[in-house]
């Protein structure tokens, strides 16, 4: 970009969008403009029909423009919860496909990747999916290349796992359209420790005992990776021990020391967390969710779910529906 050009970015927000993702993109761009002493970046808050939108923090946002008024945008990001959807999907998805055909870069931040993929513009493109939405994403879009990288960029498509990664992407935009020195200065302004790029994996929190630090031992980490690959078709702990090259007793001891749980209970927790993602962010029936996390019938999954979260999957879905923002259609309870 030459010094006289301005890079125009639109933020298409849906009811229930995470406000932190918006500010994590706008603030570094604003700072870059100040440091460069030029308006290198301009941004617009966009909604489907120019209507007011309420964030997940219950803060209301007025739109600068509606989606049909998208001329001049170089890049459009979608920000929403995983349940974000257009009131008029034919028109909204058509507008995104029209932007794609005319060369506009498109992106999704956190849950915004869900309506982005639903629009049809991500066919053939890999997608960065936040770890807490991974099970729900794979359930709805089993054919897509869902990745755990914080930023995934592919041929005018940019998907980002969450707010912190959105800040990283903003720094890359600043580096690309201004220079690296300004990107570095922006990072210093906000005490942002590093600029992550493609290939950096998300850091998934683990339940660790106080004396184990913030990372799992290599043996347990490898075992957890195998468990994560076998959610739908569970493997036995003895088979798991064989895969990582230790005895069943050794793996039991390693898990207990590192996580405070047996591998069986740790595995069940992983499956219940995956089930909860689908309860909260998909429209799948409870019996189908049970099958997706490795149960042949729903009853034992429901019992384990209630033990983990204090309510059945149907009760949990009904509870979440009560808190969904207006006009976001509730999910079925069964």
* pLDDT tens, position by position, 72-131: 899 999 999 998 999 999 999 999 999 999 999 999 999 999 999 999 999 999 999 988
Q: What DSSP state is assigned to residue 44? A: E
Cβ atoms of 121 and 96 within 8 Å: the answer is yes
Q: What is the pLDDT of residue 150?
A: 85
- CB within 8 A of 187, min separation 6: which ones? 28, 171, 193, 194, 195
Could you give the percent of the chain with pLDDT greater than 90?
A: 61
Between CA 112 and CA 57 the distance in angstroms is 16
* Mean pLDDT over the full length of the chain: 87
CA distances from 52 to 23, 26, 61, 104, 194 (A): 17, 19, 6, 24, 35
Above 50 in pLDDT, residue 210? Answer: no
Q: pTM for this structure? A: 0.69
Among residues 262, 307, 270, 304, the alpha carbon closest in space to that of 286 is found at 304
Q: What is the pLDDT of residue 92?
A: 95
Above 80 in pLDDT, residue 321? Answer: no
Between CA 42 and CA 73 the distance in angstroms is 10
Q: What is the pLDDT of residue 228?
A: 86
* Ramachandran area for residue 311 (φ above 0: left; ψ -120 to 50: alpha; else beta): beta
Q: What is the average per-residue pLDDT within 228-235?
A: 89
Cβ atoms of 45 and 109 within 8 Å: the answer is no
Above 80 in pLDDT, residue 57? Answer: yes
What band does 28 get if pLDDT is binned at 50, 70 and 90? very high
Which range among 23-37, 95-109, 247-261, 311-325 shows the weakest confidence by mean pLDDT?
Answer: 311-325
What band does 2 get if pLDDT is binned at 50, 70 and 90? very low
Q: What is the pLDDT of residue 295?
A: 94
Q: What is the pLDDT of residue 20?
A: 93
Q: What is the pLDDT of residue 148?
A: 83
CA distances from 40 to 139, 177, 179, 188 (A): 40, 8, 11, 19
The four Cα atoms 209, 213, 218, 220 give a dihedral, to 10 degrees, of 10
Find the distance separating the first CA and the last CA of the chain, reported in whole Å.
Answer: 52
What band does 211 get if pLDDT is binned at 50, 70 and 90? very low
Q: What is the pLDDT of residue 316?
A: 87
Higher model confidence: residue 191 or residue 296?
296
The DSSP secondary structure of 152-192, one letter per residue, reads: EE-SSEEEESSHHHHHHHHHHHHHHHT-HHHHHHHHHHTT-
Cβ atoms of 294 and 232 within 8 Å: the answer is yes
Q: What is the pLDDT of residue 221?
A: 87
Give residue-wise pLDDT tens across range 254-306.
Answer: 999 988 999 999 999 999 988 988 888 777 899 999 999 999 999 999 999 99
Q: What is the pLDDT of residue 63?
A: 94
What band does 1 get if pLDDT is binned at 50, 70 and 90? very low
Above 70 in pLDDT, residue 11? Answer: yes
Q: What is the pLDDT of residue 324?
A: 56
């Amino acid at each position: 970009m030459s010094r006289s050009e301005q890079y125009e970015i639109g933020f298409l927000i849906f009811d229930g969008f995470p406000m932190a993702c918006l500010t994590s993109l706008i603030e570094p761009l604003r700072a870059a403009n100040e440091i460069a002493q030029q308006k290198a970046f301009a941004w617009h808050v966009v909604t489907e029909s120019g209507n007011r939108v309420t964030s997940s923090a219950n803060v209301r946002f007025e739109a600068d423009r509606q989606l049909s008024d998208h001329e001049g945008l170089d890049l459009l990001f979608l920000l929403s919860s995983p349940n974000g959807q257009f009131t008029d999907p034919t028109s909204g998805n058509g507008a995104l496909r029209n932007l794609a055909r005319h060369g506009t870069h498109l992106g999704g931040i956190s849950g915004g990747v869900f309506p982005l993929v639903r629009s049809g513009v991500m066919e053939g493109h890999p997608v960065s999916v936040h770890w807490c939405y991974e099970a729900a994403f794979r359930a709805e879009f089993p054919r897509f290349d869902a990745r755990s990288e914080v930023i995934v960029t592919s041929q005018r498509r940019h998907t980002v796992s969450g707010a912190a990664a959105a800040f990283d992407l903003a720094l890359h935009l600043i580096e690309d359209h201004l220079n690296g020195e300004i990107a570095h200065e922006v990072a210093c302004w906000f005490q942002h420790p590093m600029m992550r790029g493609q290939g950096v994996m998300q850091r998934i929190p683990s339940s660790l005992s106080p004396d184990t630090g913030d990372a799992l031992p290599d043996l347990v980490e490898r075992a957890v990776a195998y468990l994560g690959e076998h959610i739908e078709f569970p493997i036995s702990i003895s088979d798991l021990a064989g895969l990582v090259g230790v005895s069943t007793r050794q793996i039991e001891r390693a898990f207990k020391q590192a996580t405070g749980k047996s591998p069986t209970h740790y595995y069940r927790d992983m499956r219940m967390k995956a089930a909860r993602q689908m309860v909260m962010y998909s429209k799948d029936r409870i019996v189908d969710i049970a099958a997706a996390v490795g149960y042949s019938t729903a009853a034992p999954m429901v019992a384990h779910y209630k033990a983990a979260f204090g309510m059945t999957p149907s009760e949990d879905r009904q509870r979440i529906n009560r808190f969904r923002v207006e006009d976001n259609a509730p999910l079925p309870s069964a």
